[in-house]
Amino acid sequence: MSRARFVVVSVAAALTVAATASLGLWQLDRAAQKTALEASIRSRADLPAWDNRELLAQADPASGAYRPVRLRGQWLAQHNVFLDNRQMDGRVGFFLVTPLRLSGSDRAVLVQRGWVPRDFNDRLRVPEVATPPGEVTVNGRLAPPPGRLYQFGETGTGPIRQNIDPAAYRLETGLALLDPSVQQTGDDEGPLRRHWPLPATDVQKHHGYAFQWFALCALVAGLYLWFQIIQPRRQRARLHGPDAR
């Protein structure tokens, strides 16, 4: 019976050690992937900016995420969206998103123009932000659409919303929107703040998870050696003397 117990415990310990070691290696691999992604994002920031023609010529503009752009077009302020509960520099307010119709084209791109504070005394009040008429030049970087926050019910259609769904927004406005959006960069403009952080890759988080898995692996291996090998041998030695070894 003790022999069968030893085999069962040994198999369970071996499987646990293999599983935890594999999970630790997987976390290290994820960290390496995100480190490479972070390096790629930073290297794209140093590339020459795309203009209208170069952006429209891309088969997949989203593949140039975080590359600089310098676009000319006209703001479509009638389609402004203020995304609620967005943070910048530790303050909660709105992200102002405005479509820009690109000059010489019928295509448009969503521009995250910046963060603005909200009126907490009147939560339905839309901030006053000046929008220049006519053709403008927008400096920024390609970026995914604004991240989604948890919300109750469907996405609204008013100027203040919790999230913006690009596909639904295309149908709502009838605009031929490109897939990526643009985060406008440069100096703050009136109430608009443009202190955009680069996306968090959470490399340290994966290193922490890897340490936990490897620590658990070492613990299981240590407990197995102590309770299944070292301690039984010491007990036999005490009961039967040196010959029992």
The string of pLDDT tens digits covering residues 60-74 is 887 788 899 999 999
Pull the structure tokens for residue 95. Answer: 């992200």
The distance in angstroms from the start CA to the end CA of the chain is 21
Alpha-carbon gap, residue 149 to 80, rounded angstroms: 19
Q: What is the mean pLDDT of residues 163-169?
A: 90
**pLDDT higher than 70, residue 156:** no
Residues 6+ apart with CB under 8 A from 136: 72, 73, 74, 75, 100
Long-range contacts, 78-84 (Cβ 8 Å, 24+): 79/173, 79/175, 80/129, 80/131, 80/159, 81/159, 81/161, 81/164, 81/169, 82/116, 82/126, 82/127, 82/159, 82/160, 82/161, 83/146, 83/161, 83/162, 83/163, 83/164, 84/118, 84/160, 84/161, 84/162
Q: What is the CA radius of gyration of the chain?
A: 29
Q: How confident is the model at residue 243 (pLDDT cuts 50, 70, 90)?
A: low
Residue 164: exposed, middle, or buried by beta-carbon count in 10 A (0-12, 13-18, 19+)?
buried
- Mean pLDDT (the chain, rounded): 88
Query: Per-residue pLDDT for 244 more than 60?
Result: no
Task: State the average pLDDT over residues 203-218.
Answer: 92
Q: Which residue has the higher pLDDT, 93 or 59?
A: 93
The two tokens of residue 119 are 């009126």
Q: What is the pLDDT averaged over residues 29-43?
A: 82
Closest CA to 162 of 173, 146, 175, 178: 146
Answer yes or no: is pLDDT of 3 > 90: no
Give 131's pLDDT tier (boundaries 50, 70, 90): very high
Cα 35-69-192 angle, rounded to 5 deg: 90
Confidence grade of residue 242 (pLDDT, cut at 50, 70, 90): low
CB neighbourhood size of 63 (10 A): 11
Q: From CA 68, how far away is CA 142, in angstroms rounded? A: 7
Longest dimension (CA), the chain: 97
- pTM of structure: 0.73
HSE at residue 67, side-chain half, CA atoms within 13 A, is 17
Cα 26 to its chain centre, rounded Å, is 19
Which amino acid does the sequence have at 167? Answer: A
In percent, the amount of the chain with pLDDT more than 70 equals 95
Structural contact between residues 96 and 86, judged by C-beta atoms closer than 8 angstroms: no
Please provide residue 230's backbone torsions phi and psi, each rounded to the nearest 5 degrees: -70, -50
Residue 22 has a pLDDT of 95
pLDDT at residue number 1: 45
